[in-house]
């Protein structure tokens, strides 16, 4: 079955440490996204990428970095500069439907819950 | 600042009650609108979407939503809820042409009592 795989499901980080969250999709989607979900705040966009080797900052990019070396993969690194990294992180993907002239609705992974030790 | 607002943070209903969850946005121009649902322990799933055409859209599991352009609203409705509808519901708007960058509301937690 096609889908989005996020790993690990739970991740613990020590103060001052960088950690990388994995997101892989086999949907052949061009665009991929990282969101952060906090209670009462909905989902906020961290970074997105519409094509390989290109990515754009979202609304809350500070303290995060990404890469998009392959179409299938969009890893997110939470750096030590992110002062409040404890959150639920969601990866999503979509593609543009030429016939309809619009993007498909985004598909989401199961998420990674990051906690600070 | 431009945003998406869901006015109900937590809604508690009994089974068979009718449901309406509010969603308002502040973007002008053409927008695409979505409602997503997150059941406990599961990933976000699309309930329904509006891109163009009939402003009353029907989604999965008996949900529907009405786009009222003059009110910048996209409220979610269901005539009779079930215990299995207990979940968190998110309204999302894509106000950007040429890219799909969703702006989400804060979410509404729905609890259905049997």
Q: Per-residue confidence of chain B (114 residues) as pLDDT tens digits?
A: 669 999 899 999 999 999 999 999 998 888 999 999 999 988 899 999 999 899 999 999 999 999 999 999 999 999 999 999 999 999 999 988 777 889 999 999 999 998
**Best CA proximity match to B35, nearest among B47, B23, B27:** B47
pLDDT given at position A97 = 84
- How far, in Å, CA of B29 to CA of A47, rounded? 24
Query: How far is C-alpha B75 from the geometric centre of its chain's CA atoms?
Result: 6
Smallest Cβ distance to A48: which of B43, B101, B107?
Answer: B101
Contact at 8 Å (CB) between B96 and B32?
Answer: no
Q: DSSP of B13-69, one letter per residue?
A: EETT--EEE--EE---S--EEEEEEE-TTS--EEEEEE-SS-SEEE-GGG-EEEEEG
Q: What pLDDT score does B7 carry?
A: 87
Whether A1 has a pLDDT exceeding 80, the answer reads no
Of B65, B3, B2, the C-alpha closest to B34 is B65
Residue A104: pLDDT band (50, 70, 90) is: confident
Helices vs. strands in chain B: H and E counts, helices first: 0, 12
| pLDDT score of B54 | 95
Give dist(CA A6, CA A23) in Å, integer: 5
Put simply, the answer to whether A41 touches B94 (Cβ < 8 Å) is no
Encoded tokens for B100: 């799909």
Summarize the confidence of residues A57-65 as an average pLDDT.
95
Please indicate whether, in this complex, the C-beta atoms of B9 and A40 are within 8 angstroms of each other.
yes
How many CB atoms neighbour CB B86 within 10 A?
17
Quick check: A68 and A32 in contact, CB under 8 A? yes
B102 — phi, psi (to 5°)?
Answer: -80, 140
Model confidence at A81, in pLDDT bands (50, 70, 90)?
confident
A41–B contact, CB cutoff 8 A: yes
End-to-end CA distance of chain A: 35
Chain B nearest CA to A56, separation (Å): 11
Tell me, what's the pLDDT at B1? 65
CB-CB: which of B43, B99, B107 is closest to A108?
B43
> How distant is the Cα of A111 from the closest Cα of chain B, in angstroms?
7
Among A41, A45, A100, the residue with its CB nearest the CB of B101 is A45
Q: Could you tell me what percent of chain A has a pLDDT over 90?
A: 75
Q: Do B100 and A41 touch (CB under 8 A)?
A: no
Cβ pair B100:A43 closer than 8 A: no
Do the Cβ atoms of B101 and A94 come within 8 Å?
A: no
Look at residues B70, B100, B83 and name the one whose alpha carbon lies nearest to residue A107.
Answer: B100
Mutate to test the interface with B, among A47, A105, A113 (most CBs of B within 10 A): A105
Beta strands in B64-107 (DSSP E): 64-68, 73-78, 87-94, 103-104
CB contact under 8 A, B106 and A110: no
Q: What was the pLDDT predicted at B86? A: 97
- What single-letter DSSP state applies at residue B84? G
Tokens of B70: 């003059």
Cβ within 8 Å, pair B32-A102 = yes
- Phi first, then psi: what are they for A4, rounded to 5°? -115, 130
For residue A16, is pLDDT > 90? no
- How many CB pairs (< 8 A) connect A and B? 50
d(CA A57, CA A106): 18
């Amino acid at each position: 079955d096609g889908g989005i795989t996020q790993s690990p499901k739970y991740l613990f980080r020590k103060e001052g440490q960088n950690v990388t969250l994995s997101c892989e999709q086999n949907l052949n989607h061009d665009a991929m996204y990282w969101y952060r979900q906090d209670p009462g705040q909905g989902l906020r966009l961290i970074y997105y990428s519409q094509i390989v080797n290109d990515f754009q900052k979202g609304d809350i990019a500070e303290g995060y970095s990404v890469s998009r070396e392959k179409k299938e993969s969009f890893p997110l690194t939470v750096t030590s500069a992110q002062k409040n990294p404890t959150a639920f992180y969601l990866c999503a993907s979509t593609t543009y439907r030429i016939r309809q002239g619009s993007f498909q609705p985004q598909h989401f992974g199961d998420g990674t819950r990051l906690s600070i030790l | 600042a431009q945003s998406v607002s869901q006015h109900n943070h937590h809604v508690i209903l009994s089974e068979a009650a009718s449901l309406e969850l509010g969603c308002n946005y502040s973007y002008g121009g053409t927008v695409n609108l979505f409602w997503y649902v997150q059941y406990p322990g599961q990933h976000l799933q699309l309930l329904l979407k509006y891109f163009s055409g009939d402003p009353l859209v029907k989604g999965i599991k008996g949900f529907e939503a009405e786009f009222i352009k003059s009110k910048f609203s996209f409220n979610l409705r269901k005539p009779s809820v079930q215990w299995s509808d207990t979940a968190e519901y998110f309204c999302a708007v894509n106000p950007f042409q040429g890219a799909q960058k969703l702006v989400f509301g804060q979410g509404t937690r729905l609890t259905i009592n049997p």
